[in-house]
């Protein structure tokens, strides 16, 4: 792989050396001819629940020698760093999670603890970034025209330290071409997340979706779901997403319309849930305001809402949070129902997210049901399905 002189120097700098070697190895595996600079880095895999002592020690060790060269934000951690007791988190977990966060901060990370960096970062069409967190990756590539591969927590840290990523995969035009057309009929609220679950499982790299015009929240939910069920990192939506007509359109077509209806039936609640968890990906302004409106009717089943702490600085959102909390809900920051062990206290969780529907049974070992945001709220208000 070709390296500039400056890039070669990183191989001799303590802290950067190990990161540079890691990126070179990855670059060689994918036949990258060179490194490119990245404008932003987003680091996932920072929950102590997921990375344990091995991950904690690796990050702490690196933080003794390395500093980040580009702006780096971080994904949700394993707890709300202010209300961890209320979530039932142990002191030992709290202490180890804080060590991970402090080590990342020491290297220069911004502790946003949000999985929606696309709402906050100053990056746009055509920018090269190194983002981990699958929902952020797919949203960036598909909806914003930003270019990123699906990084791991470790490769994202290596990119933050070096400011570089190998030039391969979705950084290159020819790898952003769709290879299958998929027809979906999004009729009801919540269908986009279900369609995403189904699309993820279809064998193809980049789906070209034929649909009615999707709302921003539907694009977000659908992308997060297909990244979870099938590791997708990009999609196009005909007449909508920014690169939909840049490349050749695939000939083969798959029709998913009947499957959406039947999957929807399969995942609807069959029993009363004991928790309703909203915010995967993290809730943004509109969703929080909508939940606050429903909350005014009072929740009979606990509702946990996950969002990013910076949103609560907004007076309107802070008021919405008060309303939700006065009426039986909780608004937690810095974490989510999937990466926090707190959800394990419950047995049956209802979500409006295809990603949470996929991961909660596997990672938190809870039964999981699906409904649109409105359906989840109605179950919470009525206290029954």
Residues that bind ligand F3S (CB under 6 A): 75-76, 115, 135, 224, 279-282, 306, 336, 338-339, 355
Nearer to ligand F3S, 224 or 292 (CB): 224
The three-state secondary structure class of 229 is helix
Contacting residues for 260 by C-beta, under 8 A, at least 6 apart: 184, 185, 186, 191, 194, 195, 198
Distance of CA 226 to the CA centre of its chain: 11
DSSP state of 361: I
DSSP characters for 248-299? Answer: PPPS-EEE-HHHHHHHHHHHS-SS--SEEEE-SS---HHHHHHHHHHHTT--
Nearer to ligand F3S, 32 or 224 (CB): 224
- Distance in angstroms (rounded) separating the CA atoms of residues 116 and 8: 34
Nearer to ligand F3S, 321 or 355 (CB): 355
- How many Cβ atoms are within 10 Å of 367's Cβ, its own excluded? 16
Nearer to ligand F3S, 135 or 241 (CB): 135
- Distance in angstroms (rounded) separating the CA atoms of residues 100 and 153: 13
- How many Cβ atoms are within 10 Å of 383's Cβ, its own excluded? 12
Closest approach, Cβ 336 to ligand F3S, in A, equals 3
373 cis-preceded (ω within 30 degrees of 0):
no
- Distance in angstroms (rounded) separating the CA atoms of residues 278 and 286: 13
Nearer to ligand F3S, 20 or 43 (CB): 43
Closest approach, Cβ 245 to ligand F3S, in A, equals 29
Closest approach, Cβ 42 to ligand F3S, in A, equals 11
Nearer to ligand F3S, 333 or 336 (CB): 336
Closest approach, Cβ 330 to ligand F3S, in A, equals 15
Closest approach, Cβ 261 to ligand F3S, in A, equals 25
Closest approach, Cβ 150 to ligand F3S, in A, equals 13
DSSP characters for 136-149? Answer: HHHHIIIII--B--
Nearer to ligand F3S, 147 or 355 (CB): 355
Strands laid side by side in the 367-370 sheet: 329-333, 303-307, 275-278, 348-351, 367-370
Nearer to ligand F3S, 284 or 294 (CB): 284
Closest approach, Cβ 280 to ligand F3S, in A, equals 3
Closest approach, Cβ 259 to ligand F3S, in A, equals 23
Dihedral of alpha carbons 373, 375, 377, 383, sign? negative
- Distance in angstroms (rounded) separating the CA atoms of residues 234 and 137: 8
């Amino acid at each position: 792989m070709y390296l500039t002189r400056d890039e070669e120097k990183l191989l001799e700098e303590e802290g950067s050396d190990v990161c540079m070697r890691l990126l070179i190895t990855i670059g060689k595996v994918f036949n990258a001819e060179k490194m490119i600079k990245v404008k932003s880095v987003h680091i996932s895999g920072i929950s102590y629940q997921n990375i344990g002592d091995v991950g904690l020690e690796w990050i702490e060790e690196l933080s003794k020698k390395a500093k980040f060269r580009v702006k780096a934000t971080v994904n949700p951690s394993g707890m709300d760093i202010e209300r961890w007791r209320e979530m039932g988190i142990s002191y030992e977990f709290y202490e180890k999670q804080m060590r991970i966060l402090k080590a990342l901060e020491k290297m220069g990370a911004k502790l946003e603890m949000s999985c929606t960096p696309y709402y906050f970062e100053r990056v746009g069409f055509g920018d090269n970034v190194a983002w981990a967190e699958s929902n952020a990756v797919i949203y960036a590539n598909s909806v914003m025209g930003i270019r990123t591969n699906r990084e791991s927590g470790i490769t994202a840290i290596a990119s933050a330290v070096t400011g570089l990523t190998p030039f391969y995969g979705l950084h290159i035009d020819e790898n952003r071409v769709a290879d299958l057309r998929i027809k979906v009929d999004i009729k009801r609220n919540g269908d986009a997340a279900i369609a995403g679950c189904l699309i993820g499982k279809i064998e193809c790299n980049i789906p070209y979706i034929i649909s009615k015009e999707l709302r921003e929240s539907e694009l977000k939910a659908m992308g997060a779901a297909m990244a979870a069920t099938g590791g997708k990192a990009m999609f196009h939506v005909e007449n909508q997403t920014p690169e939909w007509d840049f490349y050749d359109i695939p000939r083969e077509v798959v029709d998913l319309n009947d499957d959406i209806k039947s999957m929807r039936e399969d995942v609807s609640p069959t029993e009363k849930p004991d928790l309703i968890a909203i915010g995967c990906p993290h809730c943004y302004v509109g969703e929080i305001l909508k939940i606050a409106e429903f909350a005014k009717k009072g929740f009979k089943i606990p509702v946990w809402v996950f969002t990013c702490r910076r949103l609560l600085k907004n007076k309107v959102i802070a008021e919405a949070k008060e309303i939700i909390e006065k009426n039986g809900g909780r608004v937690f920051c810095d974490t989510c129902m999937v990466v926090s062990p707190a959800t394990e206290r419950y047995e049956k969780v209802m979500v409006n997210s295809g990603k949470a529907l996929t991961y909660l049974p596997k990672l938190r070992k809870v039964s999981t049901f699906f409904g649109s945001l409105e359906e989840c709220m109605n179950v919470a208000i009525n206290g029954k399905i």
